Chains A and B, each alone.
Chain A
């Protein structure tokens, strides 16, 4: 049962990413992959928060699996971020490619840490 919920949550996470990406991308012609960055940073913060809540037993493990591994795993994406970094590099926009590659993982990890601290605070 949990596995079905996990899959459904992952699908819903992917739809949330699709809709948000479409909304952000159609708002204006960004020169930087703003939508994917926004999605990955918010998703990393939220998964950190859930992991913190689970660590203090405020959130059961099955909820972390469905909401975290399922929804937030489906919501965030590594493959699109990597592809966008390749496209930036192909356009010789090295700074933007470096920011989207290395800068994003640094920022996402910092936000995951912040979420964990908030989630595990008593």
Chain B
């Protein structure tokens, strides 16, 4: 009997990541069009990164608390987490926009943008985890 392929080599799972990633990328692009730069700061990218960090934290904590990463839970994690949240958020734009601010001589802007994204992104992710835990705790008491 042959071993099952690891998840990252299964075409069906790649398809889920592809669909989630495409939708997430479109959503990021749309937010980028809708949210203007303020004081040269890319607030659209800032917004998607914080929102995506919050949603991914909540999603991974929620799925992890429901049981092992198999079948339906894995499909949801890959479509919504790896695909959508991964495609929605971006690290490359964070780095390139920070570099562009530095090249314009806006050192303070660059430091504020990069640090605010990292620190608030971490807090957003932690908040997502905490919200999912709270929800799981409530469910546990009523079940």
Residues of chain A at the chain B interface (Cβ within 8 Å): 3, 6-15, 17-19, 21-23, 26, 40, 43-44, 46-48, 51, 68-70, 72-83, 85-86, 89, 101-102, 104-106, 108-109, 111-113, 116
Contact = CB atoms under 8 A, between A and B. Distances in A.
Contacts of A8: 22
B5 to A, nearest CB: 10
Interface of B: 6-9, 13-14, 17-26, 28-29, 32, 49, 52-53, 55-57, 60, 78, 82-83, 85-96, 98-100, 102-103, 110, 114-115, 117-119, 121-122, 124-126, 129
Most buried by A among B49, B56, B92, B99: B92
Contacts of B119: 101
Q: Is the interface of B mostly helix, strand, loop or mixed?
A: helix
A85 B121 CA distance: 10
A101 B122 contact: yes
30 contacts: A6-B29, A7-B25, A10-B24, A10-B87, A11-B25, A12-B18, A14-B21, A14-B22, A14-B24, A15-B18, A15-B21, A43-B91, A44-B91, A51-B96, A69-B32, A72-B90, A74-B22, A76-B91, A77-B85, A77-B86, A77-B91, A78-B49, A82-B122, A82-B124, A85-B122, A89-B126, A105-B94, A109-B95, A109-B102, A116-B96
Contacts of B102: 109, 113
